[in-house]
Amino acid sequence: MPELAEVEYVARQMRMSVLGARIAQITVAWPRTISVPDVPTFIQLLSGQVIEAIERRAKVLLIMLSNDLVLTVHRRMSGNVELLEAGAPPPRYERVRLNLTDGRAIAYSDPRKFGRMALYAGVDLPATLADFGPEPLDPEFTDEVLMKILASTPRAIKALLLDQHAIAGLGNIYADESLHAAGIHPLLPANSLSSAQIGALHAAIIKVLQLGIAHGGTTFGRHRGFYGEVGHNLEHLRVYQRTGEPCRTCGTPIVRIVVAQRGTHLCPNCQPNMHSCS
Ligand SMILES: [Zn+2]
């Protein structure tokens, strides 16, 4: 499932290749991919627009258009946004295609069909994104900001990291990796962490996301870059989906538990559950 790192990587690729491109014609093969407006209006409003900017908020890709509308793409479980060169065959499971006037196309494919695209007026965008917490790669996301978020709740730290209202963009992969890098057990209550642990977690979140982006994202499943390429972060992961394999820090076998109904991977040596010892 694409998280912040995967979406950010594709946003950066799109900035290098489709800024200034004009949308010619749109095909919608799976109408439910379009959440708002209705499909005929969606097609009518997109046709002829120039792609003026590409942004990201949380796990949502934002494509700013010349008519001051914003096309949002939320890939959810299995969606990919890919560039098709002129004459290239469509990807499998193509749901929506934006044909560009230069002959290329932007294809949205999604076998599981949970992903959604929507068109909003630019002025309405802040309201639609208002429920997301702070962006972890934003300079305003400081130790103090994280401390305030954690102090507000006794929920398990892993569950809080997955909560998009608390912090935007983290999913199962980067939450597990952040907690391992910070040496924090996923079940510890958020408001029980020391200031040293919070500082370590803050640094770890930023580090694992930046590494994920630098490696083109984690392809565990279906994520692809904008040019259809596999991301290489999987081989750099230290705990995620490594159950039974030796911890890359200390050699202890990685353990899988369930937190907030999600498979959670940890090293019991590097990430002691201090509360179970008391
Ligand atoms: Zn370890």
Kindly state whether residues 121 and 242 are assigned to the same domain: no
Residues 6+ apart with CB under 8 A from 61: 7, 10, 11, 14, 54, 55, 72, 73, 74, 75, 81
Catalytic entry in 56, 57, 59, 104 = 59
Kindly state whether residues 46 and 105 are assigned to the same domain: yes
Which of 128, 156, 182 lies at the terminal end of a domain, its last residue?
128
Assess if residue 134 is contained within a domain: no
What confidence tier does 249 reach under pLDDT thresholds 50, 70, 90?
very high
Q: What's the CA gap between 30 and 162, in Å, rounded?
A: 29
59 catalytic per annotation: yes
Report the domain count for the chain: 2
Assess if residue 75 is contained within a domain: yes
CATH number at residue 192: 1.10.8.50
229 catalytic per annotation: no
Kindly state whether residues 100 and 214 are assigned to the same domain: no
| Residue length of the chain | 278
Assess if residue 82 is contained within a domain: yes
Average pLDDT over the chain, rounded to an integer: 96
What confidence tier does 1 reach under pLDDT thresholds 50, 70, 90?
confident
Which residues form the domain of 208? 143-277
pTM summary value: 0.95
Assess if residue 95 is contained within a domain: yes
Kindly state whether residues 165 and 271 are assigned to the same domain: yes
Kindly state whether residues 69 and 151 are assigned to the same domain: no
Give the Å distance between the CA of 239 and the centre of ligand 1: 9
Which of 128, 152, 178 lies at the terminal end of a domain, its last residue?
128
Rounded to 5 degrees, φ, ψ at 261 are 65, 15
Kindly state whether residues 117 and 160 are assigned to the same domain: no
3 catalytic per annotation: yes
Kindly state whether residues 95 and 153 are assigned to the same domain: no
Kindly state whether residues 162 and 267 are assigned to the same domain: yes
Give the Å distance between the CA of 54 and the centre of ligand 1: 39
Which of 74, 94, 128 lies at the terminal end of a domain, its last residue?
128
Assess if residue 138 is contained within a domain: no
CATH number at residue 103: 3.20.190.10
Helix (H, G, I), strand (E, B) or coil at 117: strand
Kindly state whether residues 227 and 251 are assigned to the same domain: yes
Q: Judge contact between 11 and 56, C-beta under 8 A.
A: yes
pLDDT digits (tens, 9 = 90+) for 100-141: 999 999 999 999 999 999 999 999 999 999 999 999 999 999
Catalytic entry in 15, 22, 262, 272 = 262
What confidence tier does 275 reach under pLDDT thresholds 50, 70, 90?
low
Kindly state whether residues 121 and 247 are assigned to the same domain: no
